[in-house]
Amino acid sequence: MREAYPVEQAVGIAHFVSDPDGVGGRLRESPEDFRVREVERFDTEPADADEGAYPYLVVRATLREWDTNDFAKRLSDALGISRERVSWAGTKDKHAVTTQLFTLRKVDQSELGDVSVYDAEIAVVGRTGRGLQFGDLAGNEFEITVRDAERPENAAEIQSALKSFGGGGKSETGGGSHSGTAGVPNFFGQQRFGSRRPVTHEVGLAVVRGEWEDAVRAYVANPYESEPEGSQEARRAVEDHFDERDWQAALDATPERLGFERAMLNALVESGGDRPEDFRTALEAVPSNLQRLFVNAAQSYAFNRILSERLERGLPFDRPVAGDVVCFAEQVDGVTVPDPDREQRVTERRVETVARHCERGRAFVTAPLVGTETELGDGEPGEIERDVLDDLGLAPDDFDLPGEFDSTGTRRSILVRTGLEIEEAEDEDSLTFEFALPKGSYATVVLREFMKTDPASG
């Protein structure tokens, strides 16, 4: 196995699973090079259905270079409604063209006629009795173009290796395109932890350990070379003031663009920042979804570490060994969606039976996103899980936390397998990848195997 880049290792991704050199190239030369469309799992009534019974208007929006949260705020402002009346099922990449559903509570479709949102197309889908929630999304379809590929001819060999890793044989190849299946470890991608400044898991680990001051310091100070020099300078100044307990000076040194950092520091100014609970209050000064993200990132980091250790020990990803916990899956519009609520422990006696389910895409081996209700595996898989948690100083009970930081945990498939088509352009060194992934899986985790470029260089 090839060793991952340092910035990947920092978030628990230790290896590539394909050995051939990558195709190289660049992502996101333009937003149109990264297209995402939701695979929807949400029933609607006709748009003229009774608004009393179905108070939510469902719209499909195609967005160009929009952060999902920013678009929701822009849309609510345009409609003259509270941001809380806009909901969606999944947050999408900003530097992309994305198509997804939104629900608008107590909005009539006639009100959309006056809405003008830059770089967004909005179409009415229907009405429904409840707002969209995380979990309503089945998956995403991707069409991604890699520009200036240095070795496009290597794509077929990489795809063959990934098909074998996912439990299949050699890929079918021919002409200027390749099609088949590909399997990769279901790592959490770089953006889960902060693409430019991967610190959210560091904050989360400190929170779970009850080290509230360290959690705040990791977020407001802690400069990274990959962020703008001005931000680095500000964080170095904050670090000095942090040691001096001069919270006003730390706040003054932090530019307006670092809004969440300023919110934390302002809370310390108001409380005095002398007690552990003052630092917890500072963390609670940021939006609730960011508070949850801190702990989720800690869980994701541990998950990535578990997968990396499984790779190093040579355990399979496409089939179970005794001691594994598997979950069963369902098909939604051609996307295989693992269901962590339907799980089964694998005993020595049932290994072969469950392996056949995995081979057919009906079940997947899992690893924990550890929380208070997590039950770890048995045998060697359970040993890996316990070793990683011990090394991180974590235990399931540690996630019994106040407010938004609390997490019961779940389990997640360790393998993502997808049908994959690769088209080679005739007149330039570019490759277009088309594939679909279940919700929560990262397109960049598939593409990193093909490109093998250093995320820090982009």
User: What is the tens place of the pLDDT at every residue in 332-370?
Assistant: 888 889 999 999 999 999 999 999 999 999 999 999 999
- CA gap 45, 49 in Å, rounded: 6
The answer to whether 392 touches 357, Cβ cutoff 8 Å, is: no
Q: Which residue has the tokens 């670090």?
A: 239
In this structure, the strands spanning 34-40 and 97-105 are parallel
In this prediction, residues 403-428 reach a mean pLDDT of 91
User: Pick from 61, 54, 76: which is nearest to 126 by CA?
Assistant: 54
- CA gap 309, 389 in Å, rounded: 12
- CA gap 124, 264 in Å, rounded: 40
Task: Evaluate if residue 55 carries a pLDDT over 70.
Answer: yes
Q: Which pLDDT score is estimated for 169?
A: 43
Worst-scoring range by mean pLDDT, 19-28, 40-49, 169-178, 403-412?
Answer: 169-178
In this structure, the strands spanning 325-332 and 335-345 are antiparallel
Q: Which pLDDT score is estimated for 94?
A: 85
Residues, the chain, total? 458
Coil, helix or strand at residue 218 = helix
Confidence band, pLDDT 50/70/90 cuts, at residue 51: very high
In this prediction, residues 324-337 reach a mean pLDDT of 91
Decide yes or no: CATH 1.10.1510.30 for domain 199-286.
Answer: yes
User: Pick from 236, 220, 216, 221: which is nearest to 278 by CA?
Assistant: 216
Catalytic residues: 93
What are the boundaries of each domain within the chain? 2-24+139-186+416-457, 42-135, 199-286, 290-413
The answer to whether 193 touches 11, Cβ cutoff 8 Å, is: yes
Please tell me the pTM assigned to this model: 0.91
Name the CATH superfamily, with its identifier, for domain 290-413: TruD, catalytic domain (3.30.2350.20)
42-135 CATH choice from 3.40.640.10, 3.30.70.3160, 3.40.30.10, 3.30.420.10: 3.30.70.3160
Within this chain, domains 42-135 and 290-413 share the same CATH topology: no
Task: Evaluate if residue 176 carries a pLDDT over 80.
Answer: no
Distance of CA 367 to the CA centre of its chain: 16
In this prediction, residues 227-245 reach a mean pLDDT of 94
